[in-house]
Structure 1
Amino acid sequence: MTRPGYPRGVSNETKLTAGDAELTLRPDQGCRIASLKVGGTELLRQGDKFGAFLMVPWCGRTENGVFRNGGVTHQLPVDAPPHAIHGTGRHTAWREAAPTTGTTAAYYFDLAEPWPYPGRVTHTVELAPQSVKLTLSVEAAADGDSFPAQAGWHPWWLRNLGQGGQDVELAFSAAWQEERGDNHLPNGNRIDPVPGPWDDCFGMPDGVDVTLTWPAEMKVRVNSAAEWAVVYTEQPEAVCVEPQSGPPNGLNTLPRLVTPIDPLEISTVWSWERIG
């Protein structure tokens, strides 16, 4: 069924199943992962702003909503004053890019205002009984200009699974932590990682590898060949481990140029096992 107010052909919900894993996508809500259950146990915080949403064509905060492409300056909507946050894809209805099977789905949307450059973003989901592989690609239009871009995921993992067990524990090794300035953005200094709570970006040059453990219940590993992850643990309900293609404000500080012949592609694999 198509939700009123969204383009024809955009479904409210897509469910994938593999073994005892069930994943729900909401293409009408930015193609976010609304639910991930293993053996009936929900792993993601529920609600329209939660689950696991996509960050594209930028990740985290862009300083004052301003970025430059060569000599051209662009202003993005300031939706986390004084910054622009998490891209436009999460506010967009996505369309089916390939036929959905019981375990796979692919959706896309075309970049448009307020993003100033034409292009296409595709999200591919491949569910297996003990893992899911997610891939985001950002393409420039064949006859369009090149532009800087970022892509990543913002999953809200439940701090507690609600079954009488302990809160989640995070384990990872980072080469550095991006020091945060007063404006909540990396200030250019790399420091040794410090204890949480965090709303911080970490550098992992060998690839993102973070383990979430709910003792005696569940273990989830978040892996990606990407070198950056933001870890957020400042809310009581959930924790976030966000693999992304660059740091916050990376459109300005570490631009990755997308050209008509060189798209941006990033993948992450989330794998799980029951323990105890």
Structure 2
Amino acid sequence: MSDNETRLTRLTAGDAELTVNPDNGCRIESLRIGGTELLRQGERYGCFPMVPWCGRIELGQFRNGGEKHQMPLNSGPHAIHGTGRDTAWRTARADKAEAAFMYELGEPWPYPGRVTQTFELTEDALTLQLGVETYGDSFPAQAGWHPWFNRTLGGGEPVRIDFSPAWQEERGADHLPTGRRIDPKPGPWDDCFGMPDGVDVTLIWPERLELKVTSRAEWVVVFDEQEAAFCVEPQTGPPNGLNTLPQYVTPLEPLEIAATWSWRRL
């Protein structure tokens, strides 16, 4: 169901309500469960897709074979979180509980292609999918999501974040992974973790809600240095991965990622 005036797309299932704004980077503006808002509100918040890269690219530069490319710098000396969040997406389809959106890759990204994002809402879960296709040359890319969850729900106790990563990427002074894998450290975090069996993070708002973030992807960034909100970001590779661990979109093989948020009341 769409609001033609604002182009907001609203999905509903049971008492779950999802609002997507394709004009503002195809981000989820709101996820309400039983009338309670789970996401931090504001133009820069909600949950946005990170595509065609996640986190920071060192100095905004990456190579594809012998070609060197420069992305706009928007996080100090680095380029962060891709171009999808700054793009107006086209609504491909939308009904009561499912919707799909897409945009064409273009400047400043140097390779033509298409990005597709889909949402499927049920009474107790939201499934998100991202796909990146090329129209020609192969290129390195990443995809993932950057949700801003509210730290408290309706004035209750702060959230607890429960997960068991296999390792933590050591973070340098430049906020980029150093390449060393270390034992996971206690928070607060602005860090990338490896979960080779798939992302599995449980968020517990005591006496309110439990929400599980799961994905077959093997990487998750957790950011909890703000008082109002925190982030749990499943993604296809680590920050600066276009340079350190590139995954290629080819004419025969798109880059794909799916994640599920499932919840139950406590």
Which of the five TM-score ranges fits, normalised by the shorter chain?
over 0.9
- What is the number of equivalent residue pairs in this alignment? 264
- Please identify runs of 4+ aligned residues in structure 1 that moved more than 6 A: none
Corresponding residue number in structure 2 for 1:234: 225
> Match for 1:12 among 7, 10, 14?
7
1:165 Cα deviation (Å)? Answer: 1.2
1:155 aligns to 2:150 (yes or no): no
- What is the rounded CA distance, in whole Å, between the counterparts of 2:251 and 2:89 in structure 1? 21
> Match for 2:120 among 126, 144, 147?
126
Corresponding residue number in structure 1 for 2:101: 107
1:38 aligns to 2:33 (yes or no): yes
- What is the rounded CA distance, in whole Å, between the counterparts of 1:50 and 1:96 in structure 2? 21
Deviations 1:151-187 (A, max 9, x none): 00000010011x2310000000000000001110000
1:86 aligns to 2:77 (yes or no): no
1:47 aligns to 2:42 (yes or no): yes
1:136 aligns to 2:137 (yes or no): no
Corresponding residue number in structure 1 for 2:200: 209
1:2 Cα deviation (Å)? Answer: 5.6
1:27 aligns to 2:22 (yes or no): yes
> Match for 1:193 among 184, 187, 191?
184
CA RMSD of aligned residues (A): 0.9
- What is the rounded CA distance, in whole Å, between the counterparts of 1:69 and 1:132 in structure 2? 35
Corresponding residue number in structure 2 for 1:181: 172
Task: Return 5+ residue gaps in structure 2 as ranges.
Answer: none
1:12 Cα deviation (Å)? Answer: 2.4
1:169 aligns to 2:160 (yes or no): yes
**AA partner of residue 63 (structure 2):** R
User: Helix, strand or coil for the counterpart of 2:88?
Assistant: coil
- What is the rounded CA distance, in whole Å, between the counterparts of 2:74 and 2:207 in structure 1? 40
1:72 aligns to 2:64 (yes or no): no
User: Helix, strand or coil for the counterpart of 1:132?
Assistant: strand
Deviations 1:242-271 (A, max 9, x none): 000000000000000001110000000000
1:122 Cα deviation (Å)? Answer: 0.1
User: Helix, strand or coil for the counterpart of 2:17?
Assistant: strand
- What is the rounded CA distance, in whole Å, between the counterparts of 1:224 and 1:26 in structure 2? 23
**AA partner of residue 47 (structure 1):** G
**AA partner of residue 87 (structure 1):** G
User: Helix, strand or coil for the counterpart of 1:106?
Assistant: strand
**AA partner of residue 157 (structure 1):** F
Deviations 1:76-108 (A, max 9, x none): 0001110000000000000012x2110000000
User: Helix, strand or coil for the counterpart of 1:28?
Assistant: coil
1:56 aligns to 2:48 (yes or no): no
TM-score, length-normalised on structure 1? Answer: 0.94
1:145 aligns to 2:137 (yes or no): yes
**AA partner of residue 48 (structure 1):** E
Corresponding residue number in structure 2 for 1:96: 91
> Match for 2:209 among 193, 196, 218?
218
Task: Return 5+ residue gaps in structure 1 as ranges.
Answer: 4-10
TM-score, length-normalised on structure 2? Answer: 0.98
- What is the rounded CA distance, in whole Å, between the counterparts of 2:257 and 2:9 in structure 1? 22
